[in-house]
Protein backbone atom coordinates (compact mmCIF):
# COMPACT_ATOMS: atom_id res chain seq x y z
CA UNK A 1 0.00 0.00 0.00
CA UNK A 2 1.47 3.40 -1.02
CA UNK A 3 2.27 6.09 1.47
CA UNK A 4 -0.50 8.26 -0.05
CA UNK A 5 -3.08 5.54 0.50
CA UNK A 6 -1.95 5.09 4.11
CA UNK A 7 -2.21 8.81 4.71
CA UNK A 8 -5.65 8.94 3.10
CA UNK A 9 -6.98 6.11 5.25
CA UNK A 10 -5.46 7.60 8.42
CA UNK A 11 -7.16 10.92 7.66
CA UNK A 12 -10.44 9.18 6.97
CA UNK A 13 -10.21 7.20 10.21
CA UNK A 14 -9.44 10.38 12.11
CA UNK A 15 -12.47 12.09 10.62
CA UNK A 16 -14.62 9.09 11.44
CA UNK A 17 -13.44 9.12 15.06
CA UNK A 18 -14.26 12.79 15.33
CA UNK A 19 -17.69 12.13 13.92
CA UNK A 20 -18.34 9.04 16.03
CA UNK A 21 -19.66 11.03 18.97
CA UNK A 22 -22.36 12.38 16.71
CA UNK A 23 -22.81 9.41 14.41
CA UNK A 24 -26.04 9.86 12.48
CA UNK A 25 -29.11 8.33 14.16
CA UNK A 26 -31.77 6.44 12.22
CA UNK A 27 -33.77 8.81 10.05
CA UNK A 28 -36.61 10.42 12.08
CA UNK A 29 -40.11 10.84 10.78
CA UNK A 30 -39.46 14.52 9.99
CA UNK A 31 -35.90 14.92 8.64
CA UNK A 32 -33.93 18.14 8.63
CA UNK A 33 -33.85 20.20 5.41
CA UNK A 34 -31.44 18.99 2.75
CA UNK A 35 -28.54 21.26 1.84
CA UNK A 36 -28.79 20.72 -1.90
CA UNK A 37 -32.53 20.85 -2.58
CA UNK A 38 -34.93 23.75 -2.75
CA UNK A 39 -37.59 22.43 -0.37
CA UNK A 40 -40.43 23.82 1.67
CA UNK A 41 -40.52 22.66 5.31
CA UNK A 42 -43.51 20.62 6.37
CA UNK A 43 -44.46 18.07 8.94
CA UNK A 44 -43.90 14.50 7.82
CA UNK A 45 -47.04 12.62 6.78
CA UNK A 46 -48.66 10.19 9.12
CA UNK A 47 -47.31 6.66 8.94
CA UNK A 48 -48.96 4.68 6.19
CA UNK A 49 -48.83 0.92 5.75
CA UNK A 50 -46.15 -0.26 3.36
CA UNK A 51 -47.52 -1.30 0.03
CA UNK A 52 -47.06 -4.99 -0.53
CA UNK A 53 -44.12 -5.59 -2.87
CA UNK A 54 -44.72 -7.35 -6.17
CA UNK A 55 -44.60 -11.10 -6.02
CA UNK A 56 -42.26 -11.51 -9.00
CA UNK A 57 -39.14 -11.99 -6.91
CA UNK A 58 -36.27 -12.74 -9.32
CA UNK A 59 -33.81 -13.65 -6.55
CA UNK A 60 -34.71 -15.52 -3.37
CA UNK A 61 -34.77 -13.35 -0.24
CA UNK A 62 -31.90 -13.72 2.17
CA UNK A 63 -32.86 -15.69 5.25
CA UNK A 64 -32.23 -14.47 7.85
CA UNK A 65 -32.44 -10.89 6.55
CA UNK A 66 -29.14 -9.10 6.14
CA UNK A 67 -28.53 -5.69 7.69
CA UNK A 68 -27.53 -2.88 5.32
CA UNK A 69 -26.60 0.52 6.72
CA UNK A 70 -26.86 3.51 4.37
CA UNK A 71 -25.64 7.07 4.95
CA UNK A 72 -27.35 9.50 2.59
CA UNK A 73 -27.84 13.19 1.94
CA UNK A 74 -31.65 13.64 2.02
CA UNK A 75 -32.40 14.95 -1.48
CA UNK A 76 -34.75 13.77 -4.22
CA UNK A 77 -31.85 12.50 -6.33
CA UNK A 78 -31.83 9.37 -4.14
CA UNK A 79 -35.58 8.78 -4.33
CA UNK A 80 -35.25 5.25 -5.76
CA UNK A 81 -33.95 4.26 -2.34
CA UNK A 82 -36.87 5.93 -0.56
CA UNK A 83 -39.36 4.04 -2.72
CA UNK A 84 -37.51 0.74 -2.25
CA UNK A 85 -37.53 1.26 1.51
CA UNK A 86 -41.12 2.44 1.90
CA UNK A 87 -42.76 0.09 -0.59
CA UNK A 88 -41.26 -3.13 0.70
CA UNK A 89 -38.71 -3.84 -2.04
CA UNK A 90 -35.77 -4.20 0.33
CA UNK A 91 -37.77 -6.53 2.57
CA UNK A 92 -38.79 -8.50 -0.51
CA UNK A 93 -35.16 -9.52 -1.00
CA UNK A 94 -34.36 -10.19 2.64
CA UNK A 95 -32.68 -6.88 3.41
CA UNK A 96 -33.00 -4.96 6.66
CA UNK A 97 -31.98 -1.51 5.43
CA UNK A 98 -31.27 1.27 7.89
CA UNK A 99 -31.26 4.75 6.32
CA UNK A 100 -29.25 7.37 8.20
CA UNK A 101 -29.18 11.04 7.23
CA UNK A 102 -25.88 12.90 7.03
CA UNK A 103 -25.31 16.59 6.43
CA UNK A 104 -22.81 16.12 3.61
CA UNK A 105 -21.11 13.55 1.47
CA UNK A 106 -17.88 14.17 3.39
CA UNK A 107 -19.37 12.44 6.43
CA UNK A 108 -20.58 9.53 4.34
CA UNK A 109 -17.18 9.10 2.70
CA UNK A 110 -15.51 8.83 6.12
CA UNK A 111 -18.00 6.19 7.28
CA UNK A 112 -17.64 4.27 4.00
CA UNK A 113 -13.86 4.30 4.19
CA UNK A 114 -13.99 2.82 7.69
CA UNK A 115 -16.67 0.27 6.65
CA UNK A 116 -19.04 1.57 9.34
CA UNK A 117 -21.73 1.99 6.68
CA UNK A 118 -22.28 -0.18 3.63
CA UNK A 119 -23.60 2.35 1.13
CA UNK A 120 -23.39 6.11 0.71
CA UNK A 121 -25.83 8.23 -1.27
CA UNK A 122 -23.46 11.06 -2.18
CA UNK A 123 -22.32 13.51 -4.83
CA UNK A 124 -19.23 12.70 -6.88
CA UNK A 125 -16.84 15.43 -5.72
CA UNK A 126 -13.13 16.13 -6.19
CA UNK A 127 -12.18 14.64 -2.82
CA UNK A 128 -13.46 11.29 -4.12
CA UNK A 129 -11.41 11.61 -7.31
CA UNK A 130 -8.33 12.39 -5.25
CA UNK A 131 -9.04 9.36 -3.08
CA UNK A 132 -9.59 7.05 -6.06
CA UNK A 133 -6.30 8.21 -7.57
CA UNK A 134 -4.60 7.03 -4.36
CA UNK A 135 -6.36 3.66 -4.23
CA UNK A 136 -9.49 4.46 -2.20
CA UNK A 137 -11.41 1.13 -2.22
CA UNK A 138 -14.93 2.52 -2.69
CA UNK A 139 -17.00 1.73 -5.78
CA UNK A 140 -20.00 3.29 -7.50
CA UNK A 141 -22.58 0.51 -7.64
CA UNK A 142 -25.69 2.34 -8.94
CA UNK A 143 -26.61 5.78 -10.25
CA UNK A 144 -28.68 8.35 -8.45
CA UNK A 145 -30.89 10.67 -10.49
CA UNK A 146 -29.68 12.03 -13.83
CA UNK A 147 -29.60 15.57 -15.17
CA UNK A 148 -32.49 16.36 -17.57
CA UNK A 149 -31.90 15.39 -21.19
CA UNK A 150 -33.58 18.59 -22.33
CA UNK A 151 -35.06 21.77 -20.89
CA UNK A 152 -32.70 21.71 -17.92
CA UNK A 153 -33.42 24.42 -15.34
CA UNK A 154 -29.68 25.15 -15.08
CA UNK A 155 -28.50 27.85 -17.50
CA UNK A 156 -25.59 30.17 -18.21
CA UNK A 157 -27.21 33.62 -18.14
CA UNK A 158 -25.60 36.87 -19.33
CA UNK A 159 -26.73 40.42 -18.50
CA UNK A 160 -29.32 41.62 -21.01
CA UNK A 161 -27.70 45.02 -21.46
CA UNK A 162 -24.47 43.33 -22.58
CA UNK A 163 -26.43 41.35 -25.16
CA UNK A 164 -28.39 44.39 -26.30
CA UNK A 165 -25.21 46.44 -26.77
CA UNK A 166 -23.56 43.69 -28.79
CA UNK A 167 -20.66 43.37 -26.36
CA UNK A 168 -21.68 39.74 -25.79
CA UNK A 169 -23.10 37.79 -28.70
CA UNK A 170 -22.10 34.26 -27.71
CA UNK A 171 -20.17 32.33 -25.07
CA UNK A 172 -16.79 33.19 -26.61
CA UNK A 173 -17.41 36.86 -25.82
CA UNK A 174 -17.37 36.14 -22.07
CA UNK A 175 -13.56 36.08 -22.11
CA UNK A 176 -12.23 38.39 -19.40
CA UNK A 177 -15.69 39.05 -17.94
CA UNK A 178 -16.95 38.42 -14.41
CA UNK A 179 -18.99 35.19 -14.12
CA UNK A 180 -20.68 34.13 -10.87
CA UNK A 181 -21.42 30.63 -9.62
CA UNK A 182 -22.60 29.24 -6.29
CA UNK A 183 -20.02 26.47 -5.89
CA UNK A 184 -16.34 26.85 -5.15
CA UNK A 185 -13.31 25.28 -6.83
CA UNK A 186 -13.93 21.68 -7.83
CA UNK A 187 -17.68 21.91 -7.23
CA UNK A 188 -20.45 20.61 -9.44
CA UNK A 189 -21.28 24.23 -10.28
CA UNK A 190 -17.76 24.84 -11.52
CA UNK A 191 -17.99 21.72 -13.68
CA UNK A 192 -21.24 22.95 -15.25
CA UNK A 193 -19.77 26.39 -15.87
CA UNK A 194 -16.74 24.76 -17.48
CA UNK A 195 -19.04 22.80 -19.82
CA UNK A 196 -20.83 26.00 -20.80
CA UNK A 197 -17.55 27.83 -21.45
CA UNK A 198 -16.31 24.96 -23.62
CA UNK A 199 -18.96 25.96 -26.15
CA UNK A 200 -16.95 29.14 -26.73
CA UNK A 201 -13.58 27.34 -26.57
CA UNK A 202 -12.98 28.92 -23.16
CA UNK A 203 -11.96 27.54 -19.77
CA UNK A 204 -12.51 28.86 -16.25
CA UNK A 205 -9.08 30.52 -16.56
CA UNK A 206 -10.46 32.74 -19.34
CA UNK A 207 -13.07 34.39 -17.10
CA UNK A 208 -13.09 35.96 -13.66
CA UNK A 209 -15.12 33.60 -11.50
CA UNK A 210 -16.97 34.96 -8.47
CA UNK A 211 -18.49 32.76 -5.78
CA UNK A 212 -21.99 33.99 -5.01
CA UNK A 213 -25.00 32.40 -3.33
CA UNK A 214 -27.90 31.51 -5.62
CA UNK A 215 -30.29 33.76 -3.72
CA UNK A 216 -27.97 36.73 -4.28
CA UNK A 217 -27.76 36.28 -8.05
CA UNK A 218 -30.88 38.27 -9.05
CA UNK A 219 -29.65 41.36 -7.18
CA UNK A 220 -26.20 41.00 -8.74
CA UNK A 221 -27.76 41.09 -12.21
CA UNK A 222 -29.96 44.05 -11.30
CA UNK A 223 -27.04 46.16 -10.03
CA UNK A 224 -24.67 44.91 -12.75
CA UNK A 225 -22.07 43.64 -10.28
CA UNK A 226 -21.57 40.50 -12.41
CA UNK A 227 -21.60 40.05 -16.18
CA UNK A 228 -22.94 36.51 -16.28
CA UNK A 229 -23.71 33.61 -13.97
CA UNK A 230 -24.49 29.92 -13.83
CA UNK A 231 -28.02 29.75 -12.46
CA UNK A 232 -30.44 26.99 -11.51
CA UNK A 233 -34.15 26.96 -10.72
CA UNK A 234 -35.85 29.21 -9.76
CA UNK A 235 -33.21 31.93 -10.00
CA UNK A 236 -32.49 31.65 -13.73
CA UNK A 237 -36.15 32.21 -14.57
CA UNK A 238 -36.33 35.02 -12.02
CA UNK A 239 -33.45 36.91 -13.65
CA UNK A 240 -34.73 36.30 -17.18
CA UNK A 241 -38.36 37.19 -16.40
CA UNK A 242 -37.27 40.41 -14.71
CA UNK A 243 -35.58 41.46 -17.95
CA UNK A 244 -32.10 41.52 -16.44
CA UNK A 245 -30.62 38.47 -18.15
CA UNK A 246 -30.67 36.25 -21.23
CA UNK A 247 -29.84 32.54 -21.35
CA UNK A 248 -26.78 32.04 -23.53
CA UNK A 249 -26.17 28.31 -22.95
CA UNK A 250 -28.62 25.63 -21.83
CA UNK A 251 -28.83 21.84 -21.50
CA UNK A 252 -25.17 21.75 -20.51
CA UNK A 253 -24.85 18.08 -19.52
CA UNK A 254 -27.83 15.98 -20.71
CA UNK A 255 -28.11 12.72 -18.76
CA UNK A 256 -25.15 13.46 -16.51
CA UNK A 257 -24.84 11.54 -13.23
CA UNK A 258 -23.69 13.88 -10.45
CA UNK A 259 -24.74 11.69 -7.51
CA UNK A 260 -24.47 7.94 -6.99
CA UNK A 261 -24.82 5.05 -4.60
CA UNK A 262 -21.28 4.20 -3.49
CA UNK A 263 -20.47 0.89 -1.79
CA UNK A 264 -17.84 0.28 0.87
CA UNK A 265 -14.95 -2.10 0.24
CA UNK A 266 -16.49 -4.71 2.55
CA UNK A 267 -19.96 -4.41 1.01
CA UNK A 268 -18.79 -4.66 -2.61
CA UNK A 269 -16.18 -7.37 -2.20
CA UNK A 270 -17.32 -9.48 0.77
CA UNK A 271 -21.13 -9.13 0.69
CA UNK A 272 -21.86 -9.33 -3.00
CA UNK A 273 -25.14 -11.28 -2.62
CA UNK A 274 -26.40 -8.54 -0.33
CA UNK A 275 -25.17 -5.76 -2.62
CA UNK A 276 -26.82 -7.44 -5.62
CA UNK A 277 -30.20 -7.49 -3.92
CA UNK A 278 -29.79 -3.88 -2.79
CA UNK A 279 -29.20 -2.73 -6.38
CA UNK A 280 -31.98 -4.99 -7.66
CA UNK A 281 -34.44 -3.32 -5.28
CA UNK A 282 -33.29 0.13 -6.48
CA UNK A 283 -33.84 -0.94 -10.08
CA UNK A 284 -37.36 -2.17 -9.39
CA UNK A 285 -38.06 1.09 -7.56
CA UNK A 286 -36.88 3.11 -10.55
CA UNK A 287 -39.32 1.22 -12.74
CA UNK A 288 -42.13 2.03 -10.32
CA UNK A 289 -41.34 5.74 -10.78
CA UNK A 290 -41.64 6.12 -14.55
CA UNK A 291 -44.25 8.26 -16.30
CA UNK A 292 -47.39 9.05 -14.33
CA UNK A 293 -46.33 6.60 -11.62
CA UNK A 294 -43.70 9.12 -10.52
CA UNK A 295 -46.47 11.01 -8.72
CA UNK A 296 -48.46 8.04 -7.45
CA UNK A 297 -49.75 8.39 -3.91
CA UNK A 298 -47.48 5.57 -2.70
CA UNK A 299 -44.39 7.18 -4.20
CA UNK A 300 -45.27 10.64 -2.89
CA UNK A 301 -45.60 9.18 0.60
CA UNK A 302 -42.16 7.58 0.23
CA UNK A 303 -40.53 10.81 -0.93
CA UNK A 304 -42.01 12.83 1.91
CA UNK A 305 -40.78 10.37 4.49
CA UNK A 306 -37.15 11.06 3.63
CA UNK A 307 -36.94 14.61 2.24
CA UNK A 308 -38.22 17.79 3.80
CA UNK A 309 -40.67 19.06 1.19
CA UNK A 310 -44.39 19.21 0.56
CA UNK A 311 -46.65 17.22 -1.69
CA UNK A 312 -47.52 20.41 -3.57
CA UNK A 313 -43.86 21.25 -4.19
CA UNK A 314 -43.12 17.75 -5.51
CA UNK A 315 -46.22 17.58 -7.69
CA UNK A 316 -45.67 21.05 -9.19
CA UNK A 317 -41.88 20.93 -9.42
CA UNK A 318 -39.76 19.55 -12.23
CA UNK A 319 -39.59 15.78 -12.15
CA UNK A 320 -36.28 14.16 -11.31
CA UNK A 321 -35.06 11.60 -13.88
CA UNK A 322 -34.29 8.00 -12.90
CA UNK A 323 -33.04 5.50 -15.46
CA UNK A 324 -35.26 2.38 -15.27
CA UNK A 325 -32.28 0.29 -16.41
CA UNK A 326 -29.95 1.92 -13.85
CA UNK A 327 -27.06 2.19 -16.30
CA UNK A 328 -24.03 3.93 -14.81
CA UNK A 329 -23.06 6.63 -17.37
CA UNK A 330 -19.32 6.01 -17.32
CA UNK A 331 -18.54 8.36 -20.21
CA UNK A 332 -20.13 11.28 -18.40
CA UNK A 333 -18.30 10.32 -15.23
CA UNK A 334 -15.02 10.33 -17.14
CA UNK A 335 -15.81 13.81 -18.44
CA UNK A 336 -16.39 15.11 -14.90
CA UNK A 337 -13.01 13.74 -13.86
CA UNK A 338 -11.33 15.24 -16.92
CA UNK A 339 -12.72 18.72 -16.37
CA UNK A 340 -11.78 18.87 -12.69
CA UNK A 341 -8.30 17.58 -13.53
CA UNK A 342 -7.79 20.04 -16.38
CA UNK A 343 -9.05 22.84 -14.14
CA UNK A 344 -6.26 21.98 -11.71
CA UNK A 345 -8.67 20.96 -8.95
CA UNK A 346 -7.19 17.51 -8.34
CA UNK A 347 -4.01 16.42 -6.60
CA UNK A 348 -2.94 14.32 -9.60
CA UNK A 349 -2.38 14.94 -13.30
CA UNK A 350 -2.99 11.60 -15.03
CA UNK A 351 -6.53 10.27 -15.72
CA UNK A 352 -8.03 7.94 -13.12
CA UNK A 353 -8.69 4.38 -14.26
CA UNK A 354 -12.48 4.18 -14.06
CA UNK A 355 -12.41 0.41 -13.57
CA UNK A 356 -11.17 1.27 -10.07
CA UNK A 357 -14.11 3.64 -9.58
CA UNK A 358 -17.17 1.84 -10.98
CA UNK A 359 -18.44 -1.71 -10.44
CA UNK A 360 -21.24 -2.11 -13.03
CA UNK A 361 -21.74 -5.82 -12.35
CA UNK A 362 -24.65 -5.26 -9.96
CA UNK A 363 -26.73 -3.11 -12.32
CA UNK A 364 -25.89 -5.39 -15.25
CA UNK A 365 -27.06 -8.44 -13.30
CA UNK A 366 -30.25 -6.63 -12.28
CA UNK A 367 -31.12 -6.01 -15.94
CA UNK A 368 -30.23 -9.61 -16.81
CA UNK A 369 -32.72 -10.77 -14.17
CA UNK A 370 -35.47 -8.24 -14.87
CA UNK A 371 -34.98 -7.77 -18.59
CA UNK A 372 -34.68 -4.38 -20.29
CA UNK A 373 -37.32 -1.87 -19.32
CA UNK A 374 -40.30 -1.78 -21.66
CA UNK A 375 -42.24 1.49 -21.86
Three-state DSSP class for residue 321: strand
Of 48 and 156, the one with more pLDDT: 156
Question: 294 and 350: one domain?
Answer: yes
Write down the pLDDT at residue 233.
79
Question: 270 and 221: one domain?
Answer: no
Write down the pLDDT at residue 10.
42
For all residues of the chain together, what is the average pLDDT?
Answer: 87
- What pLDDT digit, counting tens, does each position of 162-187 carry? 999 999 999 999 999 999 998 888 88
Question: 194 and 324: one domain?
Answer: no
Bridge partners (DSSP) of residue 140 are 262, 358
- Of 215, 250, 285, the last residue of a domain is 250
Question: 193 and 240: one domain?
Answer: yes
Question: 80 and 33: one domain?
Answer: yes
What is the tally of structural domains in the chain?
2
- What pLDDT digit, counting tens, does each position of 42-60 carry? 333 444 444 444 447 899 9
Least confident among 6-10, 142-146, 303-307: 6-10
Write down the pLDDT at residue 316.
87
Determine the Cα–Cα distance for residues 59 and 52; give it in Å rounded to an integer. Answer: 17
CA distances from 371 to 58, 215, 319, 363, 375 (A): 11, 44, 25, 11, 12
Question: 15 and 82: one domain?
Answer: yes
Write down the pLDDT at residue 20.
42
Three-state DSSP class for residue 69: strand
Write down the pLDDT at residue 103.
85
Write down the pLDDT at residue 202.
97
CB under 8 Å, gap of 24 or more: what pairs does 29-34 form? 29/305, 30/308, 31/74, 31/101, 31/306, 31/307, 31/308, 32/74, 32/101, 32/308, 33/308, 34/73, 34/74, 34/75, 34/307, 34/308
Question: 212 and 143: one domain?
Answer: no
Question: 286 and 332: one domain?
Answer: yes
Q: Specify if 91 maps to a domain.
A: yes
Question: 129 and 196: one domain?
Answer: no
Q: Specify if 236 maps to a domain.
A: yes
pLDDT average, residue stretch 56-84: 95
- Of 205, 226, 250, the last residue of a domain is 250
Neighbours of 240 (CB within 10 A): 17
pLDDT band of residue 312 (cuts 50, 70, 90) is very high
Q: Specify if 375 maps to a domain.
A: no
Determine the Cα–Cα distance for residues 271 and 134; give it in Å rounded to an integer. Answer: 24
Q: Which residues contact 183 (CB under 8 A, 6 or more apart)?
A: 189, 190, 211
Question: 267 and 221: one domain?
Answer: no
CATH code of the domain in which 163 resides: 3.40.190.10
Question: 97 and 176: one domain?
Answer: no
Q: Give the structural domain span for 180.
A: 155-250
Q: Specify if 93 maps to a domain.
A: yes
Question: 7 and 119: one domain?
Answer: yes
Percent pLDDT > 90 in the chain is 73
- What pLDDT digit, counting tens, does each position of 209-244 carry? 999 988 899 999 999 999 999 998 789 999 999 999
- Of 232, 250, 268, the last residue of a domain is 250
Q: Specify if 346 maps to a domain.
A: yes
Percent pLDDT > 70 in the chain is 85
Q: Is the pLDDT of residue 41 over 70?
A: no
Three-state DSSP class for residue 122: strand
Q: Specify if 137 maps to a domain.
A: yes
Q: pTM, whole model, 2 decimals?
A: 0.80
Q: Is the pLDDT of residue 301 over 70?
A: yes
Sheet holding 228-231, edge to edge: 208-211, 178-181, 228-231, 155-159, 245-250
Amino acid sequence: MSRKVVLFVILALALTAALAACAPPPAPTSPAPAESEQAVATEAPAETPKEEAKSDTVLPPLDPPEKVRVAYVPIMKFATMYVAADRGLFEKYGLDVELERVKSGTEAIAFLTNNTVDVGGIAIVTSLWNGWSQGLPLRIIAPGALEPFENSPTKLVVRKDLMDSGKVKDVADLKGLKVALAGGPGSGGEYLLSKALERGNLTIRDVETVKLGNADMPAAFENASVDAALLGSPYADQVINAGHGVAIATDLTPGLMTVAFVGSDNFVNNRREVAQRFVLALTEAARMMQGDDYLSDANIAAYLKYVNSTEEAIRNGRRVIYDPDMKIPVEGLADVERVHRENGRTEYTEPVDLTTVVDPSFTEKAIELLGPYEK
